[in-house]
Copies of this chain bind each other. A is one copy, B any other.
Amino acid sequence: MSSAIEKELESVVIRFAGDSGDGMQLTGTQFTHATALHGNDLSTFPDFPAEIRAPLGTLAGVSGFQIHFGSTRIHTPGDMCDVLVVMNVAALKANLKNLKKGGVIIANTDGFDAKNMRLANVPEDKNPLEDGSLTEYDLKTIDVTKITRAALTDTGLGTKEIDRCKNMFVLGLIYWMYHRPTEGTIDFIKAKFKKNEAVMNANIKVMQAGWNYGETTETFANRYTVAPAKMDAGVYRGIMGNQATALGLIAASVKSGLSLFYGTYPITPASDVLHELSKYKNYNIKTFQAEDEIAAICSAIGAAFGGSLAITGSSGPGIALKTEAIGLATMLEMPLVIINVQRAGPSTGLPTKTEQSDLLQAYYGRNGECPVVVLAAQSPSDCFDMAFEACRIALDHMIPVFFLSDGYIANGAEPWRFPQSSNLPEIKVKFAAARSKDDGKFMPYERDEKLSRPWALPGTKGLEHRIGGLEKQNITGNISYDPNNHEEMVHLRQEKVNRVADYIPLQKLDSGPETGDLLILGWGGTYGALKTATTILRGEGYNVSHAHVRYLSPFPSNLGDILKGFKTVVVPELNNGQLVKIIRDKYFVDAIPYNKIQGLPFMSTEVVNKIKEILA
């Protein structure tokens, strides 16, 4: 029995960092699942290099995974970490800035040898483990490689294979430190290596070794419990935004009774939506990897014409290529969901980094007057809800809908509970009915109270009709060059978007009262950081509120009134000021932009300081 003293913590931030080859992402993901299972609230931030396999041991090659978990609600991966696990010197060098003073460093000494020092451009004589530069921290050094190898002698495995188990040692040790269940990971290992028993057992063995290391050695004076968070009952799993997006689309497919068609072309960071969906063919989910983004959206338009729940998805550069076809879908008044998992731009930009800089593209990025509905998810699990909403609105209103996500929530995880299908809103799809000669001519652009037109499927008797990208006469849908008809149709297409406002929830204040000194108005993946910042500020007595907009076009009908309730409105965004432009124009409120454009999420403290500065 370990001599470690048990301590109770409210929340902890751990960062695993190592070489791309060290399996830190897998370690983090496993820890995430165990922690979700344990019932903590959590938020994660994977931070991997742009290259597929960045050069070994270099700074460019460092791959990190940060997780923040606790017994209270958690909204961000944490600004700074309490525990930093580093597999080599490059990982330490790259991540020390993220460690709290006095925080714990768990270092794999083997990763600090001459070779690694050289690769990380650290002078021979400046080994941080020895030059006393880490005295402000609680440094634990372990030769993980040595122990791992020892644990696996006479398993018959080669050194290369053996060393690949290193991360399991770390995982086991941290599991021990925080009383995490190991079963999940054991099952995972068994499944993953079912074809290779030797490797399977090796991994399990090494994880045990890690656990035992904590248990038996005196290295760790303390051991921590983090009680489950108070969350609604149910089974939770750690889910990433892109997975949640896929599940949200599938849920909409089930609810609407329509087969889903996803036409796409791979692109970082949107590809995982395709990868996820393609696993669900048994739910009648159809995925099509087209030759490019134009074919992707066009195939989806074809599928929509045929009566499928049609989705297309990409990231900025791919969305740019879809803009012409989005115009067509707008003219056709066809249900279509366009997913943009945003990344840092412009052009190819920083493909693996996050940004919110495609909002204006979604709003205005087409030729002609071409309004569409725009929604944005605010967290990994919210991707489920908003993806579902995107489908609901597209189908109910016969209109293209943009669904905006971003690299940060797409790859970040948080606990998520499978919803009951019964708790999801209805999606009623009514296709136009067959007609006989006596029913008279079918009018493809006749409109209902939502101004949406009938969805008339090929194959239905008597509904033969033609649609297209030329301006069409209202009601009949025939080509029309009539000046007044064109003006009417432009207004109708806009009004159609505006009316969606009657079918979405009113804007809520996420925290703080209806009126006050300052409103933090956010959208998308910055939710967690802004919420946390607001909590801190209010804790310090600032009269600040936070509202987070998930319905961006149209805005909830009460947004204007909310804005008027505050002396100052600040719009923090991970771009050079986009929502703020729309707000200033639409509501004529002198909103203040606050921008970060570094390919990184906001840190709550940054926001706190900025708001104080504004209020000062």
A516 on the interface (CB 8 Å rule)?
no
B370 engages A346 (CB within 8 Å): yes
From B50, B364, B491, contact of A481 by CB (8 A): B50
**CA of A394 to CA of B94 in the docked complex: distance in angstroms?**
40
Nearest B residue (CB) for A580:
B585
Q: Given A364-B363, A370-B346 in contact, is the A324-B327 Cβ separation under 8 Å?
A: no
Is A469 close to B, CB under 8 A? yes
A596 adjacent to B487 (CB under 8 Å) = yes
- Are A368 and B349 in contact, with the CB atoms below 8 A? yes
- Closest Cβ of chain B to A21, distance in Å, is 19
Given contacts A319-B367, A367-B320, A369-B576, contact A486 B361 (CB under 8 A): no
A78-86, A352-360, A531-539: which one contacts chain B? A352-360
Across-interface contacts of A470 in B (CB, < 8 A) = 347-351
Tell whether, in the assembled complex, residue B365 and residue A347 are in contact, meaning their CB atoms are under 8 Å apart.
no
Query: Is A494 part of the contact surface with B, judged by Cβ < 8 Å?
Result: yes
A471-B585 contact, Cβ under 8 Å, with A324-B320, A349-B368, A355-B368: no
Count, chain A residues at interface, CB 8 A: 61
Chain B residues positioned under 8 Å from A369 (CB to CB): 345-346, 357, 575-576, 597
Contact of A345 among B358, B368, B468, B576 (CB under 8 A): B368
Given contacts A321-B321, A355-B368, A486-B344, contact A471 B349 (CB under 8 A): yes
A35 sits at the interface (CB 8 A): no
- Select one of B361, B368, B576 contacting A357, CB under 8 A: B368
Chain B residues positioned under 8 Å from A355 (CB to CB):
368
CB within 8 Å of B: which A294-330 residues? 315-317, 319-321, 323-324, 327-328, 330
CB distance A487 to B330 under 8 Å? Answer: no
Q: A347-B327, A599-B481 are in contact. Are A368 and B358 (CB under 8 A)?
A: yes
**Residue of B317, B321, B469, B597 touching A347 (CB-CB under 8 A):** B469
Q: A469: which of B327, B349, B597, B598 is its contact (CB, 8 Å)?
A: B349
Say yes or no: A367 contacts B350, CB within 8 Å.
Answer: no
Asked if A179 is an interface residue, CB under 8 A from chain B, the answer is: no
Q: Are B328 and A347 in contact (CB-based, < 8 A)?
A: yes
Q: Are A365 and B365 in contact (CB under 8 A)?
A: yes
Interface set, chain A 363-385, CB cutoff 8 A to B? 363-370
Q: Flag whether A188 is at the interface (Cβ < 8 A).
A: no
Of the listed residues A347, A353, A491, A598, the one surrounded by the most CB atoms of chain B closer than 10 A to its CB is: A347
Interface set, chain A 472-499, CB cutoff 8 A to B:
481, 483-484, 486-487, 490-491, 493-494
Q: Check if A581 is an interface residue, CB within 8 A of chain B.
A: yes
Most interface-central of A50, A328, A345 (chain B CB within 10 A): A345
Closest B residue to A480 by beta carbon equals B350
* Contact status A597-B490, CB under 8 Å: yes
A346 to B364, Cβ gap below 8 A? no
- Judge whether A486 and B370 touch: CB under 8 Å: no
The verdict on A600 contacting chain B, using a C-beta distance below 8 Å, is yes
With both beta carbons as reference points, the residue of chain B lying nearest to A487 in the complex is identified as B597
CB closest residue in chain B, given A494: B576
Of B345, B366, B590, B600, which is within 8 A of A346 by CB? B366
Chain B hits for A600, CB < 8 A: 483
A347-B330 contact in complex given A364-B365, A484-B598, A576-B490, C-beta closer than 8 Å: yes
| Contact across chains for A317 and B481 when beta carbons are under 8 A apart | no
Check A331 for interface membership: any CB of B closer than 8 A. yes
A317 nearest CB across to chain B (Å)? 5
Bound state CA distance, A327 and B349, in angstroms?
Answer: 9
Q: A345 to chain B: which residues have CB within 8 Å?
A: 327, 366-370
Bound-state Cα–Cα, A351 to B368, Å: 11
CB of A588 closer than 8 Å to a CB of B: yes
The CA-CA distance from A355 to B367 in the complex, in Å, is 11
> Which residues on the B side are within 8 Å of A316 (C-beta)?
367-368
Residue numbers in B under 8 Å from A328 (CB-CB): 347-348
A566 to B330 CA separation, bound complex (whole angstroms): 38
- Is A53 part of the binding interface, using a Cβ–Cβ cutoff of 8 Å? no
Chain B contacts for A494, CB-based, 8 A: 576
Could you list 16 further interchain pairs (A-B, Cβ under 8 angstroms) beyond the known A320-B323, A330-B346? A50-B481, A317-B327, A327-B345, A330-B347, A331-B347, A344-B471, A345-B370, A350-B471, A357-B368, A361-B367, A364-B365, A365-B366, A494-B576, A584-B584, A584-B585, A585-B585
The 7 closest A-B pairs by CB, nearest first: A345-B368, A316-B367, A346-B368, A483-B598, A348-B469, A346-B370, A347-B469
Q: List 30 A-B contacts (CB under 8 A).
A: A315-B367, A316-B367, A320-B327, A321-B321, A321-B323, A321-B324, A323-B323, A327-B345, A330-B346, A331-B348, A345-B366, A346-B366, A347-B367, A347-B368, A349-B367, A349-B470, A350-B481, A353-B486, A357-B368, A357-B369, A361-B366, A364-B365, A486-B598, A487-B597, A491-B597, A581-B585, A584-B584, A584-B585, A585-B585, A588-B590
